[in-house]
Amino acid sequence: MGHPGYHIIHSGDGSDSVGIHGTTVSFHSTRGAFTESMQVFIENGLNHYLEQYRPVQIRILEIGFGTGLNALLTAQVLNTVQLPARYTSIDRDPLPGEVYNRLNYDAYTQASGLYRQLMTAPWNQEVPIAGRLLLQKIRADLLEYQPEGIYDICYFDAFAPDDQPELWTPAVFRKIRSHMREGGVLVTYCSKSVVRKTLKEVGFTVEKLKGPPGKREVVRATAVSGASGY
């Protein structure tokens, strides 16, 4: 049985995603959920930051927990490089178990139950996952939520500006910027000019990077004083 609000999408690289009934909205690119998350968030964000700074620990803020794929891929990288991290993810409407239990991520990534640990971890409290990740999933509206502490990386994975315009505003990005360290990176799949302009306005330099299949460009923004970009 499916869920009345969601359906499973088998994306182009063999990994699953989720679509919202009655709309064209999906949680990932239908060309490849795994491929998109790996390139946009892991390669452009996590791996880039680790190569630049070689930290002994990191803090990650994720906007939109969604299917948990970004958290899963992050946990796998952290286990490989043996780096501890605190991972805070904000989501107003978490996916129900009858949806995420049908996704093929454990098998696709050979994660041996790691995905289930992430998805069944209780909300609104910190939970250790697989030894390296201290996960805190926060059920909240980003417009009302105030982050705590300073972050090294932000995965900005909200629905697209056309679908969730209230989350792509100067006020939201300014709030995130105020909780990021100098040199910290924000990565997102959206490269619209208005998004790049807003990121620059609130204190990021902005790079356009090659996108995954089906998307020409994506964005990496770096938090710096007196930022300017193109």
User: 10-64 pLDDT, tens per residue?
Assistant: 999 999 999 999 898 899 999 999 999 999 999 999 999 999 999 999 999 999 9
Angle at 187 between CA 210 and CA 28, to 5 degrees: 75
Angle at 69 between CA 126 and CA 10, to 5 degrees: 150
> Tell me, what's the pLDDT at 227?
52
Continuous segment of H or E residues that includes residue 9: strand 6-10
- Classify domain 33-223 by CATH architecture: 3-Layer(aba) Sandwich (3.40)
Main-chain phi, psi angles of 185, to 5 degrees: -120, 140
Residue 230 pLDDT > 70, yes or no?
A: no
Radius of gyration of the chain (CA): 16
> Tell me, what's the pLDDT at 2?
56
In this structure, the dihedral spanned by the alpha carbons of residues 188, 193, 195 and 201, taken in order and rounded to 10 degrees, is 120
Residue that is written with structure tokens 């994660």 in the block: 111
Query: Hey, what are 127's tokens?
Result: 């939970």
Residue 229 pLDDT > 60, yes or no?
A: no
DSSP state letter for 167:
G
Which residues, including other chains, have CB under 8 Å from residue 122's CB and lie 6 or more apart? 137
Which amino acid type is present at position 66? G
Residue 191 pLDDT > 70, yes or no?
A: yes
Q: Which tens digit of pLDDT belongs to each residue from 204-228?
A: 999 999 999 888 899 999 998 755 4
Q: Which tens digit of pLDDT belongs to each residue from 83-132?
A: 999 999 999 999 999 999 999 998 898 887 899 999 999 999 999 998 78
Residue-averaged pLDDT of the chain: 93
The upper half-sphere exposure of residue 1, i.e. CA atoms within 13 Å in the direction of its Cβ, equals 5
Query: Hey, what are 153's tokens?
Result: 């990386």
> Tell me, what's the pLDDT at 82?
93
Residue 177 pLDDT > 60, yes or no?
A: yes
CA 140, chain centre distance (Å) = 16
Main-chain phi, psi angles of 218, to 5 degrees: -130, 180
Q: How many residues does the chain have?
A: 230
> Tell me, what's the pLDDT at 110?
87
Which residues, including other chains, have CB under 8 Å from residue 219's CB and lie 6 or more apart? 187, 188, 189, 190, 191, 195, 196, 199, 206, 207, 208, 209
Query: Which residue ranges make up each domain of the chain?
Result: 33-223
